[in-house]
Amino acid sequence: MPGTDEYVLTGGRVLLPGGRLEAGAVHVRAGRIAAAGPSDDAAPGVERIDVDGLIVAPGLVDTHVHGGLGHNVMSADADAVRVIGRRLRAAGVTSFVATTASVPFDRVLHSVRGLAALAGPTGPGGAELLGVHLEGPFLSPDFRGVHQEQNLVEPSPDRVAALLDAAGGAGGALRVCTVAPELPHAESAVRTLAAAGVRVSVGHTAATFAQARAAVEWGARRATHLFNAMPPIHHRSPGPVPALLAAESVHLEVVADGLHVAPELLGALAALPGVRDRLMLVSDGTDVSGLPDGDHHRWDGTPVRITGGRAFTHTGGIAGSTSTLIDGVRVLLAAGVPLPLALDTAGRHPARSLGLTDRGAVAAGLRADLIVVDDEAAIIHTILHGQWERP
C-alpha cells in the first residue's frame, strides 16, 4: 500500500473514458487523479506501485441499495450505515445512494432527514453516502413487489414539498425518486422533483407506453430495475419497457444477479447501440445481503430463507437481491459482454446517471475513486479519494 498521498500505479492496464482499455499508468496526488494514460510522467521521487498487469478502473457507484449484513438504511442509524458502507467498499463500491422502502409517510420523512444528515464519508473503510433514493411510497399497488400496499400514497404536491424539505431542499440529499407515472399528481411531482435536481425514475408501475413516454417528457431520467415490477412487453400492448428503452435521455437500471433478469437478455441489451451506454447495474441489495444461508428476518419482520446466497420468501418468491455490483459485472462477462463495458455499467454509467462530474472515470482532475481488478472482475483493491482498501 502507498505510504504517501502521492503515488503512481504502473505496470497495468487502465480503463480510460470511451471504454478504452490500454496499458498505462495512473498518477494520484492528494486524493485526485493527476494524470492517466500510456506514459508515466511523474517526478522520479514519487512512489510507484506495480499492479502487475491488473486493471485500474473507476470505482463502482451503487445508486440503488437498501442495506446489508442485517442492517437497513431505513434506520438512518450511523452505525448501521457504517456497516453497510464497509461492506460495499470491500466489494469495490466507492459511492452509494441509500434506498428506502414504503413505510408510513412520517417514517419516510424521518429516514430521509436522518440519511441526509449522514451523507458523506461513512467512516474508515466505508464507501461514501451520496444521499437518498426514494423507492416508494409513490408506487403502483399492482406492481408494488415487496412494498406493503397500505403504505403506498399519491405523490401530492404537499408530500413532494415535505420530502424535499426533509432532504435539505433543491440540490439536497434526495438524489433519486421512483414514481409510477400513472398515479394522480404524477406530472406535477415529476416536474417539481426534476426542477429541484432530483433524478426521477419510472418504476413499480402499471404505465402504458404513452404514460411512460409522457413521464420522460415531464423530466424522468431513469428506469427503476427495468423489467422488474412493471408489465412485460407485449406486441399489442407494449407497456413502459419499450418507451424507456427508446428514450435516449433515460438511464436504465438492471439487477444483474442472474435471477431478476435473464443473463441472455442483459447480454442482448449491452449489444444494442443507443442502449449500452445507458445500461447501469444496481445491486438492489437488501438488509439480508451478506448473511449466511439459512432462515432470517428482513427489517420489516418478513421471514426469508437464503439458499445458495439468494434470498426467497417461504413460498418460493424472490425476496430481493443479495448481490453486489461486482457480482453483476461477472454476470455480464458470462453473458459475453466485454470487460470494459461491463465495468462501465457499474461505474461510469451510474455516476453519469446522477450527473456526477467529479468521479466515474479515470481521467485527470477527477477524484481518485478507483478499483484494481483482474480479468475475471475480482476486486484486488478499492481506492477511495486516493486511500487504499483491500477486500
What is the set of active-site residues? 284
Q: Residue 62 to residues 94, 201, 284, 382: CA-CA distances in angstroms?
A: 8, 15, 8, 14
**DSSP annotation of 276:** G
Q: Are 85 and 115 in contact (CB under 8 A)?
A: no
Annotated binding site for Zn(2+): 135, 204, 225
Question: How far is Cα 173 from Cα 386, in angstroms, rounded to an integer?
Answer: 24
Question: Binding-site residues, please?
Answer: 135, 146, 204, 225, 228-229, 236, 260, 318-320
- Residue 118 is placed in which grid cell? 449522514
Contact between residue 124 and residue 163 where contact means Cβ atoms under 8 Å apart: no
Gap between the Cα atoms of 130 and 173, Å rounded: 7
Q: What is d(CA 46, CA 9) in angstroms, rounded to the nearest whole number? A: 11
One-letter amino acid of 226: L
- The answer to whether 153 touches 144, Cβ cutoff 8 Å, is no
β-partners of residue 388 are 383
For residue 218, count other CB atoms closer than 10 A to its CB. Answer: 19
Q: Which amino acid is at 258?
A: G
Pairing of strands 128-135, 93-99: parallel
Q: For residue 1, what is its C-alpha cell?
A: 500500500
- Whether 230 and 239 have beta carbons less than 8 Å apart is answered as yes
Strand partners, 371: 57, 382
